[in-house]
């Protein structure tokens, strides 16, 4: 189960955000803003970069308060 976080497509990460209960709030200037009531700050995705760089995936997982294992489980079961 040692899947790395490279080559994660925007489409797949959007599905994960929806799975975690986030809603797409707006798109402005090439950036999507996703949020839910329990987050301290929104998750930002740059729409022009696909696949998403690994450091962006990790940063957004931290914002969500989940670890990489939660995301990898979603990838394996999704």
> 46 by DSSP, 3-state: which?
strand
Largest CA distance in the chain: 37
Architecture of the CATH domain 10-77: 2-Layer Sandwich (3.30)
Determine the pLDDT at residue 1. Answer: 45
Locate all alpha helices (DSSP H) within 3-78, ordered by sequence: 10-19, 54-64, 68-77
- Contact call for residues 49 and 61 (beta carbons, < 8 A): no
8-48, pLDDT tens digit by residue?
A: 999 999 999 999 999 999 999 999 999 999 899 999 999 99
Structural domain spans, the chain: 10-77
Task: Tell whether the torsion through CA atoms of 11, 13, 14 and 20 is positive or negative.
Answer: positive
């Amino acid at each position: 189960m040692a899947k790395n976080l490279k080559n994660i497509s925007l489409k797949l990460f959007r599905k994960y955000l929806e799975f975690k209960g986030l809603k797409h709030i707006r798109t402005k200037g090439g950036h999507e803003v996703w949020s839910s009531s329990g987050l301290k700050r929104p998750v930002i995705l740059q729409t022009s970069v696909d696949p998403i760089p690994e450091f962006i995936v990790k940063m957004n997982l931290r914002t969500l308060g989940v670890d990489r294992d939660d995301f990898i489980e979603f990838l394996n079961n999704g």
